[in-house]
Every structure is written in structure tokens, then in C-alpha cells.
Chains A and B, each alone.
Chain A
Amino acid sequence: MSGNRAGKSLTKYKIVFLGEQGVGKTSLITRFMYDTFDDHYQATIGIDFLSKTMYLDDKTIRLQLWDTAGQERFRSLIPSYIRDSHVAIVVYDVTNKKSFEYIDKWVEDVKTERGEENVVLCIVGNKNDLSDERQVSTEEGEKKAEVLNAKIFIETSTKVGFNVKNLFRKIAKTLPEFQKSGSALLDDTSAKNKPDVIDITTNNEEPEQSSCQC
């Protein structure tokens, strides 16, 4: 039992997921939200929405995750969602060079809508576990992120759950709400006990076997 009659303060942050079809945007969200992975591919229709509350010390923030469809016919919808988003996560598939090349176009869209400063730009190389099929090296990804002035670059694997929580932890640290409180970490104990709260502080628990990024 907590809170007062007018509730607790809640800041909402819009995070929009961008990228080509099949790079794993929905999987990334599913892994973060429910810690599951579905092998069966199902294309997103239109724009999907999911939200999650995160607790940080005495602060509560709500992440609104907007999952966009990668299909060409839904492209016209996406700028309207980038327009008022705080974070843009551009996802590419490390086993698909083309999806990597299209990052520029997505970042351009983000910058057109939000400018350079008003958005936290993240570049995520997904499917990191498929090392045999890799077409884009980590160095290439890092270099691209640097060129595009992305604040965060990370390689993930939604299949094995590698670096997913870490990504959101990094994003959280860049948000104004978290920066105000210095380098405060998420309150582990309180977060773990809440039913609809994600604990993003367990980066050490990431499976080590998938750290091979060669």
C-alpha cells in the first residue's frame, strides 16, 4: 500500500522501433516485455503498441513502445509516430546487409521529424547469435552509429535474450528523468516485486555464450 490520493507522478516516454521488414523489431519488444521468443514470423500490421512501467528510485516512468510495420505499404504511417517520440530505435539484421544499408534512410526520417537533438537515436544490430550468417561486422555497425551520431549502438539477440535488457537500461540512462538523478540505478528490489515492472539491471546475467560477436 503506497501512494497518495492523487497518485504518483508518471512521465511517459515514447519509443519508436524502426527498420526493414523481418529484422526483429517485434521480437525485440516481445523479449523485453515478456522475455519470450517466437520462431514463427508474423508481419506486423500497421502500428502496434505496448507499454511498460519502470521504477527508478522514487520515480516512475512509463515506456510506450510503438512497433512499426516494416512492410512498404505501411511506410507512410511511420513519420507520424516519429513526430512526437523521445527515442528512436533503428534495428537492422546483422545477417542482412541490405537492412543495414537502409539505416541511413530511417535515420534521415528521424532527423527530419525530430531534428538532431530532440531524440535519443539508437542503432541496434539484431540476430547477433547467427554468427555463421553474419554480413555486417560489429565494427561496421559501430562506425555507422558514430557517423549517424547515434547515442547508443548495441548488438542484440532476441532469440537468446542477449543484450536486450541492457539496451533498455542504456536507453533509460539517457532519458531526462534518469539523468536528473545522476547515475542512479534502477531499484532492483522494488522493481522485482512489482507485477508489471521490468527489471533492467540484470545485464550481468546475460548469457555469456552469445557474447561472441565475431
Chain B
Amino acid sequence: MDFLDYQTYALDDTTTNDTQLPEPASRISFQSQPSFTEPDKTFQLPSLKSYNTTSEDNATLQERMQRYASLSLERLSLSSTSQYTNTELPTNSNGTLPRNDNLKQLLQSRETAANNADTLLSKKLSHVLDNYNRGAALPDVQLRNSFKVLEDNEECLNFKSQTLVRPDFVGSLARKSLRSDLENELLRSHLTIIEDIKPIVRRIKRLSEPIKSIQELGAGLLQKGDLKEDGSNLNMNKLHDLRQKVLQLQLQKQLLVIIRDKLTLTQVEEEVLVSAPMDVEFFAVVNKLMNIKEASSYLLSLQNPKAGQTLLNQTNLKIENANKRIYNYLVNFFYDLQSASRTFGERTFASDDRFLLTFQKSMVYLSNDLTLFNEVLKKIVKLRSQRILDEFLSQFDIDPSLKSRPIIMSAHDPLRYLGDVLAHVHSLIVDEADFMDSMFKFKSLDIQGTPKSVLQKNSEFLDGLGVNLLNETFKPSENSIRIRLEQIIRFEDNPVINLEICELLKLYQMMFIKYGIMPTSSLIQQLIVLKETSKNKILSGLIKLMETSEPEGKAGMELLPPYWLSSYMANLCDFFAKLEKSGNPDGPDKLLDSNFMDEAVSRLVNEKLVHYHQTRFPLAKKNKHEKVLLLVSEINCLDLILTRLSPFKNTVLESDDCKQVYNRINQQLDHSIKNLVALQTTLSLDKLGLGLYSNLFNMIFPVESVQDELDYDMYLPVSENPIMKKETIASNVHDKLNECLPELSSDIQDNLVFNVVSPKIAEQISQACLMEVSRFYTVFRQTLFHLYPDFVEDISTTLNFTESEFNTLVGLE
């Protein structure tokens, strides 16, 4: 129990009672603070007259603190020295310090007060202990409460209860310093409160004078008891009216100020609009003008729209001027860019370049004035298209300083020339698309805060501007491009080259569209026209080739297909092969339609070949031998055509139109073969002396229709014909049959092998012919057996070969 001061036992405590126990004296002079018991009466506002606010603002923090401390001390000394002149620590009945004490006094009396407080605390504790010894419970409760309060506010008061109860020296020290620590904490918190209250006090002080004067006025008014009631009312009404008027005027003023701010430009803004550089400030003013324009439309709905009209006119005029400035800026910007490009080569901007962003913003703002905007676009297009045209034409100049080879037209390689021209245009397009994309990319542009009605809507439209400009830029060059392409296409007749040109134009059409040229643009349309021209020239080239082929003269009876036909077919097949290689013959640009096949193939067969054979074999109708030659030639030609076309039957000629034409030619070939077989059969039967009988029999009933023995009865009427007499038959047939039959097969085959190109067709004709002859011989012999059943031997002598022998001799068995 180190904290007990046994000296206090010596003190006389008989005069004090439990309720009037002296509390530990605080070192804080609570009297230095304003009393809160009657704040309106005792509170004195500090005079702030002496405060020089301007100098205070300029003073450093140190100086300000110093000044504040000195002022406080001065005031404290002024207010409380009169109250506390003695050295005795003023305490009230509760043991607290007087509230009006000041800091100075507090500091001066610190030592004495501490001593007194020590004395009091010792006294108190002695009393407590004394009471405790005597078994008094109440002081103990109070003490407990006090400690509980301390423990509850442990953190705030920096109260270390653990240290306090330690039995060692540290505990002793803590207990000794407990009071002073608590007092210091309290002092600090009070000072903080004072600091907080100070500005409030200052404000209240400032208001004290007007309040005083109001109070005086109020008191003066109340004292005027002699005012008549009526007069008072009148004055009050008048006052009320005036007050209303003042309010109205104030409102009017407020409205006018708002209207002025909202609907007019300040002088600074006017100046910015006229002469400031194109930047944020300028665009802010233009934004304001736009907003004024939007607002002025509301004024037009008033009964008198004059204000709205005037405002609208003025605003429009200003916007017009602003747009003119933007227009000039944009034109100058592009001219600068163009001239720098010419002097120093290609230019570029970083995507966040300030000048580029200003340019883009200017474009967005100018889009409100369509006339000027279009003017700017025209100028841009003019400058860019001139550059493109120069660049395009420069490739045709033979300039040795240029590292790349110039584009030169070559007679033997027209495709290369076209390829070079188109590749260069392709390169120009991608370059220009790149440039347009960098200059006219408005999506990333921040146009927030701009008037919604116009600018933000325009920006959506502006997003496609780059592509539009790209298309516009190429318009002036289109003619030059077309001329250079056309000069090749117009004069090219080779169908294969024309097909390649067609494919090339199709490919570039696709590639140009891929890089931004619109499918509806005139450049693409020009390509389409040129492509159609070259497509048409494929057919016309083939027809020309067909028509210019001169049939050979009559010299020699060569039955092989003529050279012109082979040449034509070679060209046609080259074309088909190229088409096959190109990939997509059945696309939207289908070349091989029914018209093409009719013109290029059917016409060849139906007109050209017919004419050729008519010219070549004029007597074919009269002369059977010439007719055979004609048919052989015809078969050879048709076979050639079909043979050359057959590789493409399942590829480029797969379509129904093409198949139809192919099948028609095939039918024609079959027909010719059939004719040749019939003719060759007739000739063979004539050779065997059976020609007349064949005609006779066929007139009664077709020999080929004979199925069985009963059918022979159909020929019974022939017995009446004089040529059917046994003797006549014997004289007409027997010798010829025996003479020619053994050689019949070789005769037919030799003839055909020499003349018919296709051995397959030759074999087919020979077989068919011999079978026909054999069939007739069989029918004829059997019919004679039926007619003359009594003269079988005679008939067997005349037609001395059995059917089997006949077939063996002609090589059918």
C-alpha cells in the first residue's frame, strides 16, 4: 500500500462529513472556460476587431499558433486576475477548480495547486481508509465507481490499471503519477474543445452586433404604443406589397441572370469563338452555342416568338462563323498534311495525337453544317484522289530512278499487264484504306457532353465516313484505271486469255470489296462491265475462230476430220480445261449456259459441219459411194467432237444444258452410223446380187421383223414376181454370191478401217452390216424353201451356202 500517505492521519477531519469530502483538486482551471450554466448571460464573445485576417492568412502556422497562445494567455490573465488574487487554490464545495480560471494562473499556481491537491487527496484517501476501518460501505462504493469510471475510459485517459496495481517501484510511480496524468489528459481534452469552439464563438460574435441592433429596433417598435391600429395596418400592407415587389424583382433578376447565362455568350466566349485556337475551349463555346440553339426553339413557342427568332438568328450566325473557322482549320490541316507528304514523304499520326483528335473533333462539329462539311469532304477527296491518280500514273512512267519496274504493256503477256495494273490499284486501295481508317475513326473519340440532338447522332453517321471517302477518292482515278484495263480487254480475242482476264477481274473485284470498296461503287461496276466484256468475248472469240476457219479444198478424198475442226476443238477444250482449273464453273457468273453451248458446239455441228460436208460432197444425194464418204467424214467429225468433249462431261459439262448438247451430238453420230450401216448393207447385197430381192422383201414385210418360220408365209405373194423364178434367181445370185461372199467381210472392214478414225465405230458398222446381209440371206433362202418345197435341191444349188457357212464366210461365227 505504497500510495497511502500516513501523514494525512494527522489532519483533522472532524469538520468534514462524507458528503463534503474534498475531491482531488484538478490542475485545470475550469473557470478559464466559459460557464455552461447560463450561456446566454455569462458568455462573452471575444473581440475579433484586432484580428487582421489578411495578415493572418499570410502568417506561417508557427506564427499563428504563437499569436493564438499569447492572445489566449492575455485574455485569460485579463479575465481572471481580478477574481483570484490570493495564492489559495480556489475550489468549490465539490472540490473542483473555479470555472473562470485561466491558463496563466493555472500555470503559475501549478506548484501550489499540486501541493494542495496532494494534501487533499491524501486527506481524502486517509478518510476513506479511516472509514473503511470503521466499516463504512458508501465511500468504498464511490471509490469503486471512480475506479470503474477510470477503467471504462482506460484508453481515453491513458489509464493503465495493470501498472497501477503492480507492487514494485513502477507500480508505485504509476500510482503517484496517476492524478497528474489524469489531469493532463483532461487538460488536453479541454484544450481541444476550446479549439473547436473558437471558430463558432467567432461567428457568433460577428452576429452579436446585428442581433443587438435588431433587438433594439424591436424594443423601439414595441415602445411606440401610440401608433393607431389603421395606420399600422396600412403601413404593414404597404410593407407587404413592397416586400412582394422586392421578391418579384429579385426573382426577375435571378431569371434574367439565368437566361443571360444560358442564352448568351460572355465576352470571353465571344473572343474565344473568334480568335482562340481550335481546342477544348473553342469546342466548349460551340457546345454552348448548340445548347442555346436548342433552347431557343422553346422560345419560338411563346405568343410573341420575336425573342426566339432573334436569338435563333444570332446563334445561327455565330454557329455559322464558328463552322467557317472549323472549315478553314480542316482545309488548312489537310493542305499542310498533303504538302508535308509531298515534301517529306508519307505522314502518320499516333492514335492519341492531339492534332489528330482535334481534327476528328472538328469533323464531328462541322458535320452540323452539311454545306461546309461536304465542301471539306470534297477538298479532302480532291487532294487525296489527285495523289492517288499521280501515284497510279507514275507506275507507267519509265523512270530509271525508280527501283521498281514500270508497268509495261506486253503483246505476248497481256495478262501480266492487267495483273500489274490491278495489283497496283489493290496496293493503292489498301494504303488509302489504312490512311482513311487512321484519320476518320470516330468511335474512339470522346464526344460526351456535346449536345445530343446533333453531334452524337452525327458521330454514328461519321463512323462510315472513312469508307465513303475511300470510295469517293478512287472515283477520279476510275477512268484511268478502266482505260488501261480496257485497252487490253477490248482487243483480246483468245478465249482462254479472256477467261483468265474474267477470272482475274472477278478475283480483284472480291479483293477490292474486302478492303473497303463498296460493291455498288463505280470502280467495282467498271470491273463488272469489263468482266462481262471479256466473258462475252470468250464466246465471240470462239465463234470468230469457228467462222474464220476455211474449209480445205476438194483436193484429195481425205475423210479424216478437217484441220480447222481439230484446231477449233483444241481451243474449245483448252478453254474448258482452264475453266475446270479455275474452280467454280457453276457460280453466279456461269459461263457455260445453254446459249454458250448452242453457239459454241451445236452451231458447229448443225451449221458449220453440215455446210462443210455439203461443200465437200455435193453429189452425196445421188451417188451412194459419195454418200458413204460423206457419212464416214461425218462420223469422224462427230466422233472427234465427242472424244474431245468427253473428259469434261462430268466436270464443266455436267450441267443439264451441256449434257443435252453432248447427247444430241451423240445421237447424231448414232444416226450417221445407222445410215452408213444401211447404205453399206444395200451396197453389199447389191454386190451379192441380192439387192433387188431385198427391196422386194422389205416392201412386203421388213426382213428385220421376221421372228420365226411362220413369218416366211408373209412372203408367199412374191412368187408372182417374175424375178422370183428359180432360173432368174440362179442367174442373178449364184455367181455373184460365190464370187463376192468370201471377200465381203474384208472389203467392208478395209474400207472402214482406212476411213473411219475410230476402230470401235468401224467394227460396229462392219458387224452391223454383215449381220444385216446374213439375216437377209437366211430369210431369203428359207422363203425360197417355203415357196418351192419341191425344188429344195435346186435352191440349195443356187444359194449353195448354208446360213452357218454364210456366217462363217463373213466372219460372224
A residues lining the B interface (CB < 8 Å): 1-12, 14, 45-47, 49, 51, 53, 60, 62, 64, 72-74, 76-77, 79-81, 83-84, 113-114, 118, 194-196
Report the minimal beta-carbon distance from A44 to chain B, rounded to whole angstroms: 11
B613 contacts the other chain (CB 8 A): no
Segment touching A, from B195-203, B298-306, B342-350, B371-379: B342-350
Q: Which of A49, A51, A80 contacts B420 (CB 8 A)?
A: A80
Q: Which residues of B sit under 8 angstroms from A1, Cβ to Cβ?
A: 352-354
Assuming A84-B427, A113-B405, is B346 touching A6 (CB within 8 A)?
A: no
Q: What total count of A-B pairs have CB within 8 Å?
A: 115
B34 contacts the other chain (CB 8 A): no
- Binary contact track B658-698/A, C-beta < 8 Å → 1, others 0: 00000000000000000000000000000000000000000
Give Cα A14 to B426, complex, Å. 13
Report the minimal beta-carbon distance from B208 to chain A, rounded to whole angstroms: 56
Inter-chain contact A80/B347, CB cutoff 8 Å: no
Q: Which residues of B sit under 8 angstroms from A72, Cβ to Cβ?
A: 581
Give Cα A83 to B500, complex, Å. 20
Q: In the complex, which residue of chain B has the Cβ closest to the Cβ of A80?
A: B423
Inter-chain contact B582/A73, CB cutoff 8 Å: yes
Assuming A3-B354, A7-B348, is B434 touching A80 (CB within 8 A)?
A: no
Q: Which residues of B sit under 8 angstroms from A60, Cβ to Cβ?
A: 348
Q: Can you list 13 contacts pairing A with B, beta carbon distance less than 8 Å?
A: A2-B354, A4-B355, A5-B336, A6-B339, A11-B345, A45-B507, A51-B434, A62-B348, A73-B583, A74-B507, A80-B416, A80-B419, A81-B427
Q: Which of A7, A53, A64, A79 contacts B347 (CB 8 A)?
A: A7
Report the minimal beta-carbon distance from B435 to chain A, rounded to whole angstroms: 10
Query: A-B pairs with the 9 shortest C-beta distances?
Result: A80-B423, A6-B340, A7-B347, A84-B404, A10-B348, A80-B419, A1-B354, A3-B353, A10-B346
B430 contacts the other chain (CB 8 A): yes
Q: Which of A12, A79, A80 contacts B431 (CB 8 A)?
A: A12
Q: In the complex, which residue of chain A has the Cβ closest to the Cβ of B338?
A: A6
Inter-chain contact A7/B340, CB cutoff 8 Å: yes
Report the minimal beta-carbon distance from B196 to chain A, rounded to whole angstroms: 48
B333 contacts the other chain (CB 8 A): yes
- Binary contact track B578-590/A, C-beta < 8 Å → 1, others 0: 0001110000000
Q: Which of A11, A51, A113, A118 contacts B346 (CB 8 A)?
A: A11
Give Cα A107 to B780, complex, Å. 80
Q: In the complex, which residue of chain B has the Cβ closest to the Cβ of A4?
A: B355
Inter-chain contact A81/B340, CB cutoff 8 Å: no
Give Cα A81 to B422, complex, Å. 10
Q: Which residues of A sit under 8 angstroms from B247, Cβ to Cβ?
A: none
Report the minimal beta-carbon distance from B340 to chain A, rounded to whole angstroms: 4
Q: Which of A5, A62, A84, A113 contacts B355 (CB 8 A)?
A: A5
Give Cα A3 to B510, complex, Å. 37
Give Cα A62 to B350, complex, Å. 12
B337 contacts the other chain (CB 8 A): yes
Inter-chain contact A7/B415, CB cutoff 8 Å: no
Inter-chain contact A83/B430, CB cutoff 8 Å: no
Inter-chain contact B347/A9, CB cutoff 8 Å: yes
Inter-chain contact B419/A46, CB cutoff 8 Å: no
Q: Which residues of A sit under 8 angstroms from B351, Cβ to Cβ?
A: 195-196
Give Cα A45 to B349, complex, Å. 32
B41 contacts the other chain (CB 8 A): no
Q: In the complex, which residue of chain B has the Cβ closest to the Cβ of A66?
A: B427
Inter-chain contact B423/A9, CB cutoff 8 Å: no
B596 contacts the other chain (CB 8 A): no
Give Cα A65 to B404, complex, Å. 17
Inter-chain contact A7/B507, CB cutoff 8 Å: no
Q: Which residues of A sit under 8 angstroms from B333, Cβ to Cβ?
A: 5
Give Cα A73 to B419, complex, Å. 13
Inter-chain contact B416/A53, CB cutoff 8 Å: no
Assuming A46-B511, A80-B419, is B583 touching A9 (CB within 8 A)?
A: no
How many residues of B are counted as interface, with CB atoms below 8 angstroms from the partner's CB atoms? 46
Give the contacts of B412-430 with A (CB-CB under 8 A). 415-416, 419-420, 422-424, 426-427, 430
B515 contacts the other chain (CB 8 A): yes
Q: Which residues of B sit under 8 angstroms from A196, Cβ to Cβ?
A: 351
Q: Which residues of A sit under 8 angstroms from B337, Cβ to Cβ?
A: 5-7
Assuming A4-B355, A5-B355, A51-B430, is B348 touching A83 (CB within 8 A)?
A: no
Q: In the complex, which residue of chain A has the Cβ closest to the Cβ of B507?
A: A46
Q: In the complex, which residue of chain A has the Cβ closest to the Cβ of B354?
A: A1
Report the minimal beta-carbon distance from A112 to chain B, rounded to whole angstroms: 9
B228 contacts the other chain (CB 8 A): no
Give Cα A73 to B510, complex, Å. 16
Give Cα A113 to B419, complex, Å. 14
B134 contacts the other chain (CB 8 A): no
- Binary contact track B31-74/A, C-beta < 8 Å → 1, others 0: 00000000000000000000000000000000000000000000
Q: In the complex, which residue of chain A has the Cβ closest to the Cβ of B500?
A: A76
Assuming A7-B340, A12-B431, is B581 touching A53 (CB within 8 A)?
A: no
**Given A49-B426, A49-B430, A49-B515, 11 other A-B residues pairs in contact with their CB atoms under 8 A:** A3-B349, A3-B353, A4-B355, A5-B337, A6-B339, A6-B347, A10-B348, A76-B419, A80-B424, A81-B427, A194-B350
Give Cα A3 to B395, complex, Å. 31
Inter-chain contact A118/B419, CB cutoff 8 Å: no
Report the minimal beta-carbon distance from A34 to chain B, rounded to whole angstroms: 17
Give Cα A211 to B716, complex, Å. 102
Give Cα A76 to B500, complex, Å. 10
Assuming A1-B354, A8-B349, is B340 touching A83 (CB within 8 A)?
A: no
Assuming A7-B349, A8-B347, is B419 touching A79 (CB within 8 A)?
A: yes
Give Cα A72 to B350, complex, Å. 40
Inter-chain contact A8/B427, CB cutoff 8 Å: no
Q: In the complex, which residue of chain B has the Cβ closest to the Cβ of A77?
A: B419
Inter-chain contact A76/B347, CB cutoff 8 Å: no
Give Cα A83 to B396, complex, Å. 13
Q: Which residues of A sit under 8 angstroms from B356, Cβ to Cβ?
A: 3, 7
Q: Which residues of A sit under 8 angstroms from B347, Cβ to Cβ?
A: 6-10
Q: Which of B346, B352, B355 contacts A12 (CB 8 A)?
A: B346
B443 contacts the other chain (CB 8 A): no
Give Cα A47 to B508, complex, Å. 9
Interface centre among A46, A113, A118, A195 (most CB of B within 10 A): A46
Give the contacts of B380-417 with A (CB-CB under 8 A). 395, 403-405, 407, 415-416
Report the minimal beta-carbon distance from A80 to chain B, rounded to whole angstroms: 3
Inter-chain contact B344/A83, CB cutoff 8 Å: no
Q: In the complex, which residue of chain B has the Cβ closest to the Cβ of A3?
A: B353
Q: In the complex, which residue of chain B has the Cβ closest to the Cβ of A60?
A: B348
Inter-chain contact A83/B423, CB cutoff 8 Å: yes
Inter-chain contact A73/B581, CB cutoff 8 Å: yes
Give Cα A77 to B403, complex, Å. 20
Q: Which residues of B sit under 8 angstroms from A76, Cβ to Cβ?
A: 415-416, 419, 500, 504
Interface centre among B347, B424, B504 (most CB of A within 10 A): B347
Assuming A6-B347, A9-B347, A83-B404, is B423 touching A77 (CB within 8 A)?
A: yes
Q: Which residues of B sit under 8 angstroms from A64, Cβ to Cβ?
A: 427, 430-431
Report the minimal beta-carbon distance from B440 to chain A, rounded to whole angstroms: 14
Report the minimal beta-carbon distance from A69 to chain B, rounded to whole angstroms: 10
Give Cα A2 to B351, complex, Å. 10
Give Cα A27 to B419, complex, Å. 26
Q: Which residues of A sit under 8 angstroms from B345, Cβ to Cβ?
A: 9-11
